[in-house]
A and B are shown apart, each in its own frame.
Chain A
Amino acid sequence: MAGENERERIFGYLAHRFGIPAATFAAFALFRRQRGWFMVPASPLLERVASLKIRRLGLRAFQEVGAFMKPTTRFIQLYGGLATQAKVTLDAPRVLRLVAGERLAMDMPEGDGYVILTTDDGAVWGLGLLRKGWLQSQLPLREVRSLNVPGAGGS
């Protein structure tokens, strides 16, 4: 289970980069398995079943990439709506271009790093990566390439 330092590193990053308050996650426990971090509601119920042969626990929320902790698409879809910064809103044709692997020119005050991709209807799609003025998709290609994005038919 994650200690205070690790929680501070992970949730501090979310607060600093995206403005998602760390208090949002106060009621959750974090567990590490290999390079993944899993999030589950902290509850006395966990102790009641702790001796079960557990294969997996909670939502896969973060993945270690080198020294960095990258939030998963599913975590961002769940909590990205709380972000107040490092958030990009795209229309459908631009989502499709990004998903197709195209890089989009983008200038953001937060600078290089991960950004949250949303569409103008309010849906949170996942993460993009901003590097030197270019935004590229971090969405899982296998899952998004067959999507039928409305309004993007002719683009």
Chain B
Amino acid sequence: MVLLFEEYQDLIPDYAAFQEALGETLPLHLRVNTLKADSEETVARLRGQGLTLRPSCRGASELWEVEGTRQPGSLPEYFLGHVHPQALTSCLASGVLNPPPGSLVLDLCAAPGGKTSHMAALMGNTGLIVANELHASRQAALGHTLDRLGVCNTLMTDYQGQEFPSRYRFDYVLADVPCSGEGVFRRLRPDQRHGRSPLMARLPDLQKKIILRAYDVLNTGGEMLYATCTYNPAENEAVVQFLLQERPAVLLPIQVGVPFEPALDQWMGVTYEPQLRRAARFYPHQSRSVGFFLARIGRGE
């Protein structure tokens, strides 16, 4: 069997278990949409349909791991907007940023809308979320998700993330940036490899521009979350390190009910600032979900 992501062998703990996890089917996770449904009642309805549900993690009563269907889109609860299928680690992003009701929030790369709608639910459909999505083809999916889930508190814009107008200020910013998507890759055949396109080499430059803009539109005292679904340190730690060099940003601790590893302190001969260890790396063999990276960042004076 071909080893996947061999270049990360020294940084991923229990690399053998990681390899094994890449060959397994991802568990299905559903988020109960509390804007339209009660978690307990929805779980009872789904169990009544013969599905098996287990809490996905500690401290998040709306997140459930589901067995018994691979087609959540055909559940009545999907049409009703009571549930949204979403990777567990993706759900964690909105929960970590956790904007309170009444906040002004910017979601810089919003489609397909899972995290936007989750934040809307956390805010109880109050305040305002600017859901920015550059690509027209993805705006339709975003609008559909927000409508289906009964989200009222959003407005959609279509700026390039790195060029979002800098004269605005937000209480919270989510920068779930375009990335190489290594974390969602699964092995379907023993000889399968993860391909890299030349476009991927250009991603860190784009990500650095986006993280700067995300920080620059934060209110003093505001918080942002930088998120990717890749293991690549060049798209994760190196991008956050760049922000720390350019701005007086502060890494904030992350607490979630899912196992994770602290971010790297060095990679390829480059040593990162110690506070970067507060960022979190999620691996599929530990979280039973897609690989993810989260950095919670506060804006200093």
Contact = CB atoms under 8 A, between A and B. Distances in A.
Interface of A: 28, 39-41, 43, 45-46, 48-49, 52-60, 72, 74, 77-78, 121-125, 143-144, 146-150
Contacts of A54: 155-157
Interface in B241-278: none
Interface stretch (B20-28, B146-154, B199-207, B286-294): B146-154
Interface residue SS majority, chain A: mixed
Interface string B137-151: 001000100111011
A58 B152 contact: yes
Contacts of A52: 130, 155, 157, 165, 168
Interface stretch (B52-60, B120-128, B181-189): B120-128
Contact of B128 (A45, A55, A144): A45
A93 to B, nearest CB: 13
Nearest to A28: B152
A150 B248 CA distance: 55
A123 B111 CA distance: 27
Nearest to B41: A122
Nearest to B71: A148
Contact of B150 (A49, A77, A125): A77
B209 interface: no
B81 interface: yes
Contact of A48 (B79, B104, B165): B104
A41 B125 contact: yes
B193 interface: no
B157 A150 contact: no
Chain A to chain B: the 6 pairs with minimum beta-carbon distance, closest first? A45-B128, A56-B156, A78-B150, A59-B152, A55-B156, A148-B74
B45 interface: yes
A41 B153 contact: yes
A60 B148 CA distance: 10
B134 to A, nearest CB: 11
B76 interface: yes
29 contacts: A28-B152, A40-B155, A41-B126, A41-B152, A43-B126, A48-B104, A49-B128, A49-B130, A52-B130, A52-B155, A52-B157, A52-B165, A53-B159, A55-B157, A55-B158, A56-B143, A56-B156, A57-B155, A58-B155, A60-B143, A77-B80, A78-B35, A78-B36, A121-B45, A122-B41, A125-B80, A143-B79, A146-B73, A148-B75
Interface of B: 35-36, 41, 45, 48-49, 71, 73-76, 79-82, 104, 125-128, 130, 139, 143, 146-148, 150-159, 165, 168
Contact of A74 (B74, B82, B130, B148): B148
B7 to A, nearest CB: 40
Contacts of A146: 73-74
Contacts of A72: 147
Given A78-B81, A78-B152, A123-B76, 19 more contacts: A40-B152, A41-B127, A41-B128, A45-B104, A46-B128, A48-B168, A49-B168, A52-B168, A53-B157, A54-B157, A55-B139, A56-B139, A57-B154, A57-B155, A59-B151, A59-B152, A60-B147, A77-B80, A148-B71
Nearest to B159: A53
B63 to A, nearest CB: 21
Nearest to B128: A45
Nearest to B143: A56
Contacts of B127: 41, 43, 45
Contacts of B146: 59
B128 A77 contact: no
Contacts of A28: 152
Nearest to A78: B150
Contacts of A121: 45
A75 B80 CA distance: 11
A139 B158 CA distance: 30
Contacts of B82: 123
Given A41-B127, A123-B76, A150-B76, A56 B155 contact: yes
Contacts of B41: 122
Contacts of A60: 143, 147
A77 to B, nearest CB: 6
Contacts of B125: 41
